[in-house]
Amino acid sequence: MALTGASGFIGGALLNALTDKGWHIRALTRRPRDDSESVEWVRGDLEDKRVLEGLVDNAFAVVHCAGAVRGNSKAHFDLNNAEGTANLVEASSQQHSQPRLLFLSSLAARAPQLSWYASSKRLAEQYLLDRADVMPWAVFRPTAVYGPGDREIRPLLNATRLGILPVVARQGIRFSLLHIDDLVDAIMSWISSPVPVRGVFELDDGTPGGYDWRSLITIAEQVWERPVRTIPIPLFALFIFANMNLWSSRLFRYEPILTPGKARELAHPDWVCDNTPLTQALGWHPRVNLRNALHDACPDTHIKISARD
CA 262-265-267 angle, to 5 degrees, is 115
CA pair distance 59, 100, nearest whole angstrom: 9
The gap from C-alpha 274 to its chain's centroid, in whole angstroms, comes to 16
Task: Tell me the pLDDT tens digit for each residue of 268-293.
Answer: 999 999 999 999 999 999 999 998 88
The structural domains of the chain, with segments of one domain joined by +, span 2-306
Check: CB of residue 163 under 8 Å from CB of residue 229.
yes
Q: Which fold has domain 2-306?
A: Rossmann fold (3.40.50)
Low pLDDT (below 70) residues in the chain: 153-155, 296-309
Average pLDDT, the chain: 92
At residue 306, the pLDDT reads 38
pTM over 0.75: yes
Instruction: Tell me the torsion sign for CA atoms 10, 11, 17, 21.
Output: positive
Tens-place pLDDT, residues 158-179: 788 889 999 998 989 999 999 9
Q: What is the pLDDT of residues 109-149, one digit of tens each?
A: 999 999 999 999 999 999 988 887 778 999 999 999 988 88
Single out the residue of 255, 301, 304 nearest to residue 9, CA to CA. Answer: 304
The per-residue pLDDT for 130 is 87
In 3D space, the residue among 261, 222, 259, 9 whose CA is nearest the CA of residue 118 turns out to be 261
C-alpha–C-alpha distance, residues 137 and 140, integer Å: 10
The confidence score (pLDDT) of residue 189 equals 98
